[in-house]
């Protein structure tokens, strides 16, 4: 049995859980027969005795015909790395088995797709995870996002920008600049004025529901034609659900990595 206990922000929990699973696979050259994650995702529980893992993810025993090969090169620190270098071929099957969205998450995705009339082939994501993330990595100025967004606009003048952030100022800045060709999920996300904290700590109302919506939105972002993002747990899981970093422009510690094709 493998027991995972890290309990912090949602994708921090996911990243450490993934790291633990991969370490187990590499060490034992086999899959764990049981994974106990009941002590994770504590920020989002109404009752600490709950195991809410499978509110987010389908139980791994229900995911069949997944071929996982090893050794797998991965560490939770890879969130702050060049996403060109992630071993997608070996990591993706692990994601498919242990982080496959639950039926409820798929329902949330479907509802958002219908509500906002999403056409993935014509959307560019502007994703900025700010606030307390500045403790961990160097964040760029908002204006740098505009530089690359305008580059994509030259490629496709009808592109729609999907703006996603925990910083109110970023949302306001981008929606003002792209007033005629942008959307954001105003009813499904939480955001606050820039500060050294996280929405999960400052805005606890319906936190479990919003965490499920955030997982759904992360998967939605992964499906879009283009992505402009930073580096961190959230950004990396967009790549994992995308299964690649094609047409992704990544900011890593103040430097830009352009993988447009």
For 66-124, how does the pLDDT look when each residue is reduced to its tens digit (9 = 90+)? 999 999 999 999 999 999 999 999 999 999 999 999 999 999 999 999 999 999 999 99
Is 109 part of a structural domain of the chain?
A: no
- pLDDT given for residue 168 in this prediction: 97
CB atoms within 10 A of CB 224: 23
- Secondary structure (3-state) at 50: coil
Q: 126: closest CA among 67, 190, 177?
A: 177
User: For 25-74, how does the pLDDT look when each residue is reduced to its tens digit (9 = 90+)?
Assistant: 999 999 999 999 999 999 999 998 899 999 999 999 999 999 999 999 99
Q: How many domains does the structure of the chain reveal?
A: 2
Q: What CATH number corresponds to the domain at position 218?
A: 3.40.50.11350
Q: 238: closest CA among 65, 83, 47, 48?
A: 83
CB 102 within 8 A of CB 158: no
The range of the structural domain enclosing residue 222 comes to 118-258
- pLDDT given for residue 228 in this prediction: 98
Is 227 part of a structural domain of the chain?
A: yes
Percent of the chain with pLDDT over 70: 100
User: For 3-28, how does the pLDDT look when each residue is reduced to its tens digit (9 = 90+)?
Assistant: 999 999 999 999 999 999 999 999 99
Is 110 part of a structural domain of the chain?
A: no
Q: Are both 97 and 166 inside the same structural domain? A: no
Q: Are both 39 and 145 inside the same structural domain? A: no
User: For 157-168, how does the pLDDT look when each residue is reduced to its tens digit (9 = 90+)?
Assistant: 999 999 999 999
Q: Are both 254 and 125 inside the same structural domain? A: yes
Q: Which of 104, 129, 146 is the last residue before a domain boundary?
A: 104
Is 241 part of a structural domain of the chain?
A: yes
Q: Are both 126 and 201 inside the same structural domain? A: yes
Q: Are both 148 and 201 inside the same structural domain? A: yes
Q: Are both 127 and 243 inside the same structural domain? A: yes
Model confidence at 134, pLDDT cuts 50, 70, 90, reads confident
Q: Which of 44, 72, 104 is the last residue before a domain boundary?
A: 104
Give the mean pLDDT of 137-149.
95
């Amino acid at each position: 049995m493998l027991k995972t206990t890290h309990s912090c922000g949602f994708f921090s929990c996911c990243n450490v859980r993934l790291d633990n699973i991969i370490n187990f696979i590499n060490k034992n050259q086999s899959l764990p027969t049981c994974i106990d994650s009941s002590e994770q995702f504590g920020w989002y529980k109404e009752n600490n005795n709950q195991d809410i893992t499978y509110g987010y993810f389908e139980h791994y025993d229900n995911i069949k015909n997944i071929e996982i090969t090893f050794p797998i090169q991965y560490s939770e620190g890879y969130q702050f790395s060049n996403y060109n270098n992630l071993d997608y071929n070996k990591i993706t099957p692990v994601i498919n088995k242990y982080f496959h969205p639950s039926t409820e998450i798929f329902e949330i995705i479907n509802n958002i797709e219908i509500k906002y009339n999403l056409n993935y082939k014509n959307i560019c994501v502007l994703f900025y995870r700010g606030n307390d993330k500045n403790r961990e990595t160097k964040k760029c100025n908002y204006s740098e996002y505009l530089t690359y967004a305008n580059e994509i606009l030259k490629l496709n003048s009808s592109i729609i920008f999907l703006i996603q952030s925990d910083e109110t100022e970023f949302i306001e800045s981008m929606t003002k600049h792209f007033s005629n060709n942008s959307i954001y999920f105003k009813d499904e996300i939480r955001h606050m004025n820039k500060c050294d904290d996280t929405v999960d700590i400052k805005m606890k109302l319906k936190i479990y529901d919003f965490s499920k919506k955030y997982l759904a939105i992360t998967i939605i972002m992964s499906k879009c034609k283009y992505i402009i993002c930073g580096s961190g747990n959230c950004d990396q899981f967009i790549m994992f659900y995308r299964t690649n970093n094609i047409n992704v422009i990544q900011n890593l510690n103040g430097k830009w990595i352009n993988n447009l094709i």
